[in-house]
């Protein structure tokens, strides 16, 4: 029973356009959310986070939005670059982290 | 800092054999996590330690899996006996204090059980 779900296994976007990665969760007790980025043959690396008391956090080209009423998290990348091509995991925390299954983003030049 | 170090990076073994995966967390980090990544289930937390003590092992699939952290700089994940369905990438991660802190992942061990 996955508490954090990423329903899109893959996403393809043209360079320069916006990439939107989505994540849904079921546990209203989650109080901290993160996005990790993973390249092949490497471990996931932290990208951006948001606390449940906020609805938006921005860091350069990356913005995370949190909609608590919908239990929905999204990551926006603007503009997308070929180097952003990777697998993106969302994670939610309540005592421990629960990860989604990942979305593979392909940014086409 | 070298980051989280895992060994081996790749392991191929036959069903029934014992497999031991190793992890060295980032110096000064008090929490250590073992994850398993599969295509079907994504990243699953197997167990985590805080100050060398196992806190939550509810993700450990069955008795064939065991993990130890004898000191702050070393942990092992053992599978005995291994089965083909254990084939996955196993990640170790560490964080500064509580599990809520951002975790830093190692490069992973890709395990194939034939």
pLDDT tens digits for range A28-44: 999 999 999 999 989 99
Nearest to A32, CA basis, from A8, A7, A52, A58: A52
Q: Which residues are paired to B49 by β-bridges?
A: B32, B54
The list of chain B residues with pLDDT below 50 reads none
| Counts of helices then strands in chain A (DSSP H, E) | 0, 11
B102 → closest Cβ in A34, A42, A43: A34
Residue A77 backbone dihedrals phi, psi, to 5 degrees: -120, 115
The confidence score (pLDDT) of residue B22 equals: 98
Q: Whole-angstrom Cα distance, residue A16 to residue B34? A: 37
The confidence score (pLDDT) of residue B41 equals: 79
Using a 10 angstrom Cβ sphere, with 0-12 exposed, 13-18 middle and 19 or more buried, the burial of residue A59 is exposed
- Please check the confidence at residue A1 and state whether its pLDDT lies above 70: no
The confidence score (pLDDT) of residue B75 equals: 98
Q: What is the pLDDT of residues A74-107, one digit of tens each?
A: 999 999 999 999 999 999 988 788 899 999 999 9
SS3 state of residue B81 = coil
The confidence score (pLDDT) of residue B40 equals: 78
Give the mean pLDDT of chain B. Answer: 92
Taking the CA of residue B1 and the nearest CA in chain A, the distance in Å comes to: 15
Query: How crowded is the C-beta side of B8, counted as CA atoms within 13 Å?
Result: 9
**Cis bond upstream, residue B78 (ω within 30):** no
The confidence score (pLDDT) of residue A2 equals: 81
Residue of A nearest to B105 (CA): A43
Would the CB atoms of A99 and B43 count as touching at under 8 Å?
yes
CA-based end-to-end distance of chain B: 36
Would the CB atoms of B106 and A43 count as touching at under 8 Å?
yes
Q: Whole-angstrom Cα distance, residue B95 to residue B51? A: 11
The confidence score (pLDDT) of residue A6 equals: 94
Would the CB atoms of B45 and A44 count as touching at under 8 Å?
no
The confidence score (pLDDT) of residue B36 equals: 95
Would the CB atoms of B91 and A102 count as touching at under 8 Å?
no
Would the CB atoms of B42 and A93 count as touching at under 8 Å?
no
Inter-CA distances, A45 with A26, A34, B69, B93, Å: 24, 11, 23, 10
CA B108 to chain centre: 8
In which band, very low, low, confident or very high, does the pLDDT at A48 lie, cut at 50, 70 and 90? very high
User: Which chain A residues are Cβ-neighbours of B106 within 8 angstroms?
Assistant: 43
User: Which chain A residues are Cβ-neighbours of B45 within 8 angstroms?
Assistant: 96-99
SS3 state of residue B83 = coil
The confidence score (pLDDT) of residue B84 equals: 96
Would the CB atoms of B99 and A41 count as touching at under 8 Å?
no
Largest interatomic CA distance in chain B: 38
Q: What is the pLDDT of residues B36-67, one digit of tens each?
A: 998 777 888 999 999 999 988 988 988 999 99
Residue of B nearest to A6 (CA): B42
């Amino acid at each position: 029973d996955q508490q954090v779900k990423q329903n899109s296994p893959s996403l393809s976007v043209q360079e320069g356009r916006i990439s939107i990665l989505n994540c849904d969760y079921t546990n209203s007790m989650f109080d901290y959310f993160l996005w990790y980025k993973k390249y092949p043959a490497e471990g996931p690396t932290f990208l951006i986070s948001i606390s449940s008391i906020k609805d938006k956090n921005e860091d350069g080209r990356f913005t995370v939005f949190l909609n608590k009423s919908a239990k929905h998290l999204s990551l926006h990348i603007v503009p997308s670059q070929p180097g952003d091509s990777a697998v993106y995991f969302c994670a939610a925390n309540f005592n421990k982290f629960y990860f989604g299954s990942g979305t593979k983003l392909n940014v086409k030049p | 800092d070298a980051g989280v170090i895992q060994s081996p990076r790749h392991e191929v073994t036959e069903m029934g054999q014992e497999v031991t995966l190793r992890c060295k967390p980032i110096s000064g980090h008090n929490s250590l996590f073992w994850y398993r990544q599969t295509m079907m289930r994504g990243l699953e937390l197997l167990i985590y330690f805080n100050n060398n003590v196992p806190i939550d092992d509810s993700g450990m699939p069955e008795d064939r899996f065991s993990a130890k952290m004898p000191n702050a700089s070393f942990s092992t994940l053992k599978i005995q006996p291994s089965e083909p369905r254990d084939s996955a990438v196993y990640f170790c991660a560490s964080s500064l204090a509580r599990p809520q802190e951002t975790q830093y992942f190692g490069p992973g061990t890709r395990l194939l059980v034939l």
